Amino acid sequence: MKIKVIGCFGAMINGYHLSCFLVNNNILLDAGASMFLDYEDQIAIDHILITHSHLDHTVGIPFLVDTVFSRKENQIKIYGLFECLKALKDNLFSEYIWPDFTSIPISAPKLGFIPIQHLDSFFINGIKITPLRINHIVPTVAYFLEEGDKQFLYVGDMHHTDSLWEEVNKRAKDLRGVIIETSFPNKLDWLAKSSGHLTPSQLELEIKKLKEPVPIYVFHMKPMFIEELVEEIYSIKYPERIKILNQEDILEF
């Protein structure tokens, strides 16, 4: 399994791209920065796993579909909870905001929506993918990926979710790492709680729930607080296990 970081920040400022991870060259985990892929790399995308409907995780989809429309033969499939897909259909692809590529062309639409459910596993190119519901302010999932005997967890946006770690601890046999968010510094604990995100102190509480001492890859930091966040993240327990992700990082397992 190969995961390339296309974007890993929780806000967009020049040089800081939104959440987007390329898996094995043709799968995206979220699509906040998919428009920054090279043209040929965009054409190769066949599957997009969306954690939730918020714009910083979905804004690249309309641009990607528009860019590859004339050359893409097979349909791009978007996977997400029913509520997430409905939000995209009713708002983003509403014809008013962007053309509805789920009906263009009528004979063979270039965009397809695939509803998923909590704990209902499915396969893409030999990778077993299990959605796990997590706490956020809109319906949201994490994705538990398994390729051969190797496993990886992509958490996305969340606040405290005990059931996530209970499920992961049951399933983990060869867990190679966890990508998890930390958005706000500790001084903004109130904002993290009200918006369904984590601070470094809250991240420490989540890490304690994971039985296996696997690498923790942190993303979704707000760039305007980045120096403060880096200092606080590396001040919590388990600093040897933590890596703050940067754009263009590649994780291989």
Q: What is the pLDDT of residues 36-88, one digit of tens each?
A: 999 999 999 999 999 999 999 999 999 999 999 988 888 999 999 999 999 99
Give the pairing of strands 250-252 and 216-219. unpaired
Q: Report pLDDT for 70.
A: 87
**Sheet-wide strand order for 2-7:** 111-116, 76-81, 47-49, 27-31, 20-23, 2-7, 250-252
pLDDT value for 243: 96
Phi, psi values for residue 203, rounded to 5°: -60, -45
Provide the pLDDT for residue 1: 93
Q: How do the domains of the chain map onto residue ranges? A: 2-252
Residue of 228, 174, 183, 173 lying closest to 206 (CA atoms): 183
Secondary structure (3-state) at 10:
coil
- Residue segments in the chain with a per-residue pLDDT below the cut of 50: none
Alpha-helical segments (H) within the chain: 39-44, 55-58, 60-68, 82-87, 162-171, 189-195, 200-208, 226-233
Tell me which residue of 110, 107, 108 sits closest to 99, measured CA to CA.
110
Mean pLDDT taken over the chain: 96
CB 189 within 8 A of CB 202: yes
- pLDDT at position 237, please? 86
CATH topology of domain 2-252: Metallo-beta-lactamase; Chain A (3.60.15)
pLDDT of residue 174: 95
Q: What is the pLDDT of residue 209?
A: 96
User: What is the per-residue burial (b if ≥16 Cβ within 10 Å, else e) of 92-124?
Assistant: bbeeeebbebbeeeeeebbbebeebeeeeeeeb
**pLDDT at position 129, please?**
98
Q: Taking the model in full, what pTM does it have?
A: 0.96
